[in-house]
Amino acid sequence: MNFPRPDDYIDIHNHGAVPEDGLFKVETLMAHEDLEPGNITGLTYSYGIHPWHLNDENHKLLLGRVVKAAGNPDVALIGEAGFDRVRGPSMELQKRVFEEQVSIAAGNDKPVVIHCVRAWDELLSSHKRLRPEIPWLVHGFHGKEDLARQLISKGMYLSLWFEFVMRPEAAPLLKSIPGNRIFLETDGADIDIKDIYIKVSKDLGVRLETLKEQILKNFVIFFSNNCY
């Protein structure tokens, strides 16, 4: 996999990413699209089955694609995989396919990036049952401080939802998250990751360079598969 340069801003979760000077992006490929990762400077890839695009008819085909992609050195993570109570198939199917993806990730020594909407009990239940030794990253997080602490206590990392993190009310949540557990993302939206970094550094009362250094360190540790 490619790695960021020391001065790069890191966008840990993107869709439709293109290389940009000074930025490092993790491009999310979804198995239902059957897209191929490439070895492109400034990019690395996650690959997985999003619950929105999962059903009884396609899950075996999509899992086969994940198995194939997981062996590709340009794929750094598996996912976004997870649970969604608002949109998606039965929770039983979501759980089965999520846990299959976690198993594929573990077999290839790759972390997991998670999509979770109103299904935290299911996510925590799977974590308790599977007891993963590879790290999990919850992307798009904008939940309560108590939930953040619970996820972090299980060894998970959190990437903050871009829209929420730009609001003034995001500051208390940001301050409650240990610096060594945080990532930032655009989720493919028309927003500059640099602006997100600037806002977060102000909320945390730290220099922008200090925040960049922390997130780079988090990236290196996360991809060394360190849960704790």
**Residue 27: pLDDT above 70?**
yes
Predicted model pTM: 0.95
Residue written as tokens 């750094």? 76
User: Do the Cβ atoms of 111 and 78 come closer than 8 Å?
Assistant: yes
d(CA 193, CA 165): 11
Average pLDDT over residues 141-147: 96
Better-scored residue on pLDDT, 209 or 226? 209
**Residue 34 has what pLDDT?**
79
What is the length of the chain? 228
* Contact of 78 with 46, CB cutoff 8 Å: yes
pLDDT of 228 higher than 90: no
DSSP structure class, residue 31: G
Per-residue pLDDT, 208: 98
User: Does 77 have pLDDT greater than 90?
Assistant: yes
pLDDT of residue 227: 61
d(CA 63, CA 102): 11
User: What is the model's pLDDT at position 13?
Assistant: 97
Kindly state the helix (H) or strand (E) to which residue 183 belongs, with its residue range: strand 182-184
pLDDT at 93 over 90: yes
Task: Transcribe 86-141 into DSSP letters.
Answer: SSSS-HHHHHHHHHHHHHHHHHTT--EEEEEES-HHHHHHHHHHH--SS-EEEEEE
Both tokens assigned to 134: 């590879």
Domains of the chain: 9-222 (3.20.20.140)
